[in-house]
């Protein structure tokens, strides 16, 4: 796990090593174990190293191929590198190191761009082929590892984080006009966009090739989730056995490390399965969990402790207090852009705690996305069976009634379901997970920005994905859209930035390629049966799941923001959003902000998540005045 950056000058000029060094230095947290810079005619690469496999100096980067013509800066872990290494050795390739980076180089020499689709893991890389004067950029299948690109007439810049690109002295920092409505709707700017007009994210499952002399890059998609039709299941026992085999193999592949290893443990199904499987494979496991002091409804540590006792782990837990909001300025710097998921706070804290004892942590991320763990997935299927007339009546009846003081309550979720159940599937799903609706944004935003809040613009990514997934059953359509939106731009971003801020590598067995492909090929009816979510996963792994884990109510990794903003952080919120000189007022009408605060104080709505997002947006605007 590392940080990468690079420069391509379109006229063939040699990049300045001091600039490359500056781009690397600003992401030193991603790789505290070393820095490398290499400049060539036309291209330069920079790297920050977090040493995980092969700790020798010879495994440092940027790394050069045996023939001296191909150079790479790589971030991530390739879990099948030993298999690829054996294949390449049989073809005559000789290796000087024991890690995965050199395997990618040899694979490129053997298979060219075809090496990308053979890589199984989490990765982002820049590869300079001096023979053909071209730069290859690519990113893993689900977008677990980040990769940003800046382009203008003279140059192409790329990096693991935006701040690295901004370290180049000649960058257009103007803000993308549509970013604020997109962020206030989704809690992030959907891929490939960003808050900067000229900076974009590389799409997952794709590679791009920039060739000197060519004005446009060539983009190819090398992988996609299975898009149907789903496999016919004749023997349920075979399915359960295959799920067990694939998950165990996924965990085993992620245990290869030359540094200490542990696991995040929430006490939910997914993290419990990771810990249970690790315990079988390696014995005693170090586990880490986090909770919220004074808010037991949001605290999962009691469940984590039960699992830790069952599997005899070396367990550590930590409690978050409202004072942890002091992290906001630091988190805003690490995330570069405003980020609407408040669980970034506990994720950052548990990552820092974990890094004190291990360098690599396995997580349960992806289990909900593969096997349908969120109630909204179940609701999407249920809505298809409710008569349209009934859905319309419910919407009109419930719209004027306040949502209530607690986010996530049965009433609040039921009301949200009814308000959007009559909409087409992609629009319905987007509105169920959105912060502010298109209607709210149209009245909140000043006119020059409100025009970018049209439903067609806010929902463009969902509509495109829905068109691709038309052959899938309803539940699998929802899982696909979720994987290419929430998983990509929220969950993966949250964990990557929070963990790398602490120089901690995280690995997610549920995002294993073979497991994902198999899970997505199963009919939705095996993933959710009635109100029973993750049905096939729970059946397949029943022996490893204590009853208290299976039967507990799903909590998620949330934060009690609503309570905090009505109590300990009440005055701080007003100072941040309503004070004269607040940067938000350029984009959002002050009266609209005052109305939101009043609704929250009067307990008509729980707007904790909304205020968190507005707080982060104000923080970003203060830190980036020239961009705004």
Annotated catalytic residues are 2
Q: Name which of 477, 383, 90 is nearest 485 in CA terms.
A: 477
Backbone dihedral angles phi then psi of residue 500, each to the nearest 5 degrees: -70, -20
Q: Name which of 136, 101, 97 is nearest 121 in CA terms.
A: 101
Q: Is 128 helix (H, G, I), strand (E, B) or coil?
A: strand
For residues 548 and 406, the answer to whether their CB atoms sit within 8 Å is: no
Q: How far apart are CA 534 and CA 545, in angstroms?
A: 13
For residues 438 and 454, the answer to whether their CB atoms sit within 8 Å is: yes
Q: How far apart are CA 61 and CA 73, in angstroms?
A: 6
Q: How far apart are CA 124 and CA 122, in angstroms?
A: 7
Q: Name which of 181, 206, 180 is nearest 192 in CA terms.
A: 206
Q: Is 470 helix (H, G, I), strand (E, B) or coil?
A: coil
Report the DSSP pairing between strands 121-129 and 134-139: antiparallel
DSSP H helical segments within 199-257, as ranges? 236-253
Q: How far apart are CA 345 and CA 534, in angstroms?
A: 27
Work out the number of other CB atoms within 10 angstroms of the CB of residue 83: 14
DSSP assignments along 337-356, one per residue? S----TTHHHHHHHHHHHHT
Work out the number of other CB atoms within 10 angstroms of the CB of residue 40: 17
Q: Report residue 164 CA to chain centroid gap.
A: 19
Q: Is the dihedral of CA 233, 235, 238, 243 positive or negative?
A: positive
For residues 186 and 481, the answer to whether their CB atoms sit within 8 Å is: no
Q: How far apart are CA 120 and CA 138, in angstroms?
A: 13
User: First-to-last CA distance in the chain?
Assistant: 32
User: Would you state the structure tokens that stand for residue 319, as one six-digit string?
Assistant: 């409690």
Count Cβ atoms within 10 A of the Cβ of residue 243 and give its class: 0-12 exposed, 13-18 middle, 19 or more buried. buried
User: Would you state the structure tokens that stand for residue 550, as one six-digit string?
Assistant: 């299976």
DSSP H helical segments within 44-203, as ranges? 81-90, 101-111, 115-118, 162-166, 179-186
Residue matched to tokens 């570069």: 336
Q: Name which of 96, 123, 366 is nearest 222 in CA terms.
A: 123
Q: Name which of 257, 202, 209, 17 is nearest 108 in CA terms.
A: 209
Q: Name which of 518, 583, 260, 520 is nearest 372 in CA terms.
A: 520
């Amino acid at each position: 796990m590392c940080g990468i950056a690079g420069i391509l000058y379109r006229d063939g000029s040699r990049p300045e090593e001091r600039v490359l060094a500056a781009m690397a230095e600003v992401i030193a947290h991603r790789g505290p174990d070393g820095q490398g810079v290499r400049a060539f005619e036309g291209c330069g690469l920079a790297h920050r190293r977090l040493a995980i496999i092969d700790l020798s100096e010879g495994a440092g980067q940027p790394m050069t191929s045996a023939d001296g013509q191909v150079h790479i800066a790589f971030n991530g872990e390739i879990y099948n590198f030993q298999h690829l290494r054996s294949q390449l050795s049989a073809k005559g390739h000789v290796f000087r190191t024991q890690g995965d980076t050199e395997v990618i180089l040899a694979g490129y020499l053997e298979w060219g761009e075809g090496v990308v689709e053979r890589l199984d893991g989490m990765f982002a890389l820049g590869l300079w082929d001096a023979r053909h004067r071209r730069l290859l950029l690519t990113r893993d299948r689900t977008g677990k590892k980040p990769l940003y690109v800046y382009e203008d007439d003279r140059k192409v810049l790329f990096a693991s984080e935006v701040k690295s690109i901004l370290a180049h002295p000649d960058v257009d920092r103007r803000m993308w006009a549509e970013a604020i409505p997109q962020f206030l709707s989704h809690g992030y700017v959907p891929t490939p966009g960003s808050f900067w007009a000229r900076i974009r994210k590389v799409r997952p499952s794709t590679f791009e090739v920039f060739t000197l002399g060519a004005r446009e890059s060539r983009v190819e998609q090398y992988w996609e989730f299975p898009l149907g039709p789903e496999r016919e299941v004749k023997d349920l026992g075979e399915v359960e056995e295959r799920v067990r085999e694939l998950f165990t193999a996924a965990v085993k592949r992620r245990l290869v490390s030359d540094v200490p290893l542990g696991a995040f443990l929430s006490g939910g199904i997914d993290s419990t399965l990771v810990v249970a499987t690790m315990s079988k494979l390696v014995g005693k496991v170090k586990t880490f969990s986090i909770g919220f002091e004074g808010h037991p409804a949001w605290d999962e540590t009691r469940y984590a402790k039960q699992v830790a006792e069952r599997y005899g782990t070396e367990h550590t837990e930590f409690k978050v207090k409202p004072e942890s909001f002091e992290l906001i300025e630091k988190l805003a710097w690490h995330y570069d852009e405003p980020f609407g998921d408040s669980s970034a706070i506990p994720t950052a804290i548990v990552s820092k705690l974990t890094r004190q004892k291990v360098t690599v942590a396995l997580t349960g991320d992806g289990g909900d996305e593969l096997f349908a763990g969120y109630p909204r997935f179940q609701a999407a299927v249920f809505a298809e069976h409710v008569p349209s007339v009934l859905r319309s009546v419910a919407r009109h009846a419930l719209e004027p009634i306040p949502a209530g003081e607690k986010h996530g309550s049965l009433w609040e979720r039921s009301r949200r379901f009814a308000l959007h159940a009559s909409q087409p599937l992609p629009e319905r799903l987007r509105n169920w997970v959105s912060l502010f609706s298109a209607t709210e944004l149209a009245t909140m935003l000043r006119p020059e920005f409100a025009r970018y809040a049209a439903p067609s613009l806010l929902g463009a990514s969902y509509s495109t994905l829905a068109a691709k997934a038309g052959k899938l059953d309803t539940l699998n359509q929802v899982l696909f859209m979720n994987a290419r939106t929430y998983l990509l731009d929220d969950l993966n971003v949250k964990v990557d930035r929070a963990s790398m801020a602490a120089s901690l590598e995280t690995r997610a067995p549920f995002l294993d390629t073979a497991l994902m492909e198999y899970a997505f090929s199963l009919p939705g009816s095996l993933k959710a049966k009635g109100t029973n979510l993750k049905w096939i996963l729970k059946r397949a792994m029943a022996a490893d799941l204590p009853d208290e884990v299976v039967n507990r109510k799903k909590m998620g990794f949330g934060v009690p923001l609503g309570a905090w903003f009505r109590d300990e952080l009440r005055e701080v919120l007003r100072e941040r959003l309503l004070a004269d000189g607040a940067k938000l007022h350029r984009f959002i009408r002050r009266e609209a902000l005052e109305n939101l605060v009043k609704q929250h104080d009067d307990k008509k709505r729980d707007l904790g998540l909304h205020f968190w997002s507005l707080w982060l947006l104000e923080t970003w605007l203060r830190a980036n005045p020239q961009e705004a």
